[in-house]
Amino acid sequence: MEQIRLGNTGLKVSRLCLGCMTYGSPEWRSWVLDREQSKPFFQAAIEKGITFFDTANVYSIGASEEVTGHWLREFAKREEIVVATKVNGPMGKGANEKGLSRKAIMAQIDASLTRLGMDYVDLYQIHRFDYETPIEETLEALNDVVKAGKARYIGASSMYAWQFAKMLAASDAHGWVRFVSMQPQYNLVYREEEREMLPLCRAEGVGVIPWSPLARGFLAGGRAQPKEGNTERARTDEFSPRLYFREADHQVVDAVTEVAKARGLSNMQVALAWVLRNPAITAPIVGASKLGHIEDAVSALDVKLTDDEVAKLEAPYQPKPVLDHT
């Protein structure tokens, strides 16, 4: 497995990142795998050379961090892996148990470390933009988290490019630790980040670790209508219909299927290979609810698409409104 620098930092991460939202508690979402069911996925990922793992405090309301930490301690040395988590989502009913205030960040980093069973996380990310907190308050708190040794680096996730640029500029002006990564949505049926966010990240030396490179499984095919598919997540997903299922999206899936059949590959391999070929991308975050998903994702690293194949995959795309920045 290739190891690649995360942006302009010296930190090396595997070319693929295992997204850990799938692992935690099925009480949160019916498709989530519990601790014992999750074990083979962490073992397989590490055996395949994946060293980068992404979770969030809000996934299974903390249980994802617990499961992630448990199996990473079982299968890897702390120095060999890169662990990322996030803060912002609601972790309780209290007014200060969510968001990016100083109070929330300081409380949530300690809670995340306790659940992970770790002294520090490698990458601490803000889970979307917080419109109710001044960016200076958030950035100074994150700077203090790093200076306290509780995180090595900080990152951000889906927001408008102007918001990210403003935060980077504020960090530079105050001499605070700046974001080293951005986690946007990016896939063949959602390419709006190509307009401003990806060029901004390349210009600023920020690593890009996109979520949903397979469009929550939509690009795998077999989902003519919402709540269709061969996984529990596909059949119960309330979120995908807000993002995909336009006519042009189905045409993109048809193109993926055509290229995949011609090459003797799966749709997943082709869709992921397309994301990986973008020079702005550091490491796509892939989810896995079946062990074959990890195998397919790793094998996609060796797939090189031709210019003609890329043109066929991209031709049906129709621009969308900006989605899921809140």
Does 74 score more than 90 pLDDT? yes
Per-domain residue ranges of the chain:
3-218+279-303
CATH label, 3-218+279-303, candidates 3.20.20.100, 3.30.1370.60, 3.40.50.300, 3.30.70.270: 3.20.20.100
User: 271 pLDDT exceeds 90?
Assistant: yes
Q: What's the pLDDT score for residue 199?
A: 98
- Alpha-carbon distance of 123 to 144, in angstroms, equals 14
pTM metric for this prediction: 0.94
Average pLDDT of the residues in 202-214: 97
The predicted pLDDT at position 288 comes to: 94
Q: For residue 4, how many other CB atoms are within 10 A of its CB?
A: 16
CB of 210 closer than 8 Å to CB of 238: no
**What is the band of 225 on the pLDDT scale with cuts at 50, 70, 90?**
low
pLDDT number for residue 221? 84
Quick: pLDDT tens for 88-126: 999 999 999 999 999 999 999 999 999 999 999 999 999
* HEC string for the chain: CCEEECCCCCCEEECCEEECCCECCCCCCCCCECHHHHHHHHHHHHHCCCCEEECCCCHHHHHHHHHHHHHHHHHCCHHHCEEEEEECCCCCCCCCCCCCCHHHHHHHHHHHHHHHCCCCEEEEEECCCCCCCCHHHHHHHHHHHHHCCCEEEEEEECCCHHHHHHHHHHHHHHCCCCEEEEECECECCECHHHCCHHHHHHHHCCEECCECCCCCCHHHCCCCCCCCCCCHHHHHCCCHHHHCCCHHHHHHHHHHHHHHHHHCCCHHHHHHHHHHCCCCECCCEECCCCHHHHHHHHHHHHCCCCHHHHHHHHCCCCCCCCCCCC
Q: What is the mean pLDDT of residues 248-277?
A: 97
pLDDT given at position 224: 63
Which is more confidently placed, 222 or 183? 183
Q: How confident is the model at residue 238 (pLDDT cuts 50, 70, 90)?
A: low
Residues noted as catalytic: 59
Q: Shortest CA distance to 215 belongs to which of 195, 198, 196, 240?
A: 240
Q: Is the pLDDT of residue 186 over 70?
A: yes
| pLDDT score recorded for residue 323 | 82
Rounded to an integer, the average pLDDT of 73-79 is: 97
pLDDT of amino acid 326: 76
- Residue 232: per-residue pLDDT: 60
| pLDDT given for residue 231 in this prediction | 62
Q: What was the pLDDT predicted at 110? A: 98
Distance of CA 165 to the CA centre of its chain: 20
Q: Is the pLDDT of residue 223 over 70?
A: no
| 237, pLDDT greater than 70 | no
Least confident of 20-34, 195-209, 212-226: 212-226
Give the model confidence (pLDDT) of 274-319 as tens digits. 999 999 999 999 999 999 999 999 999 999 999 999 999 999 999 9
pLDDT tens-digit series, residues 20-50: 999 999 999 999 999 999 999 999 999 999 9
What is the average per-residue pLDDT within 164-186? 98
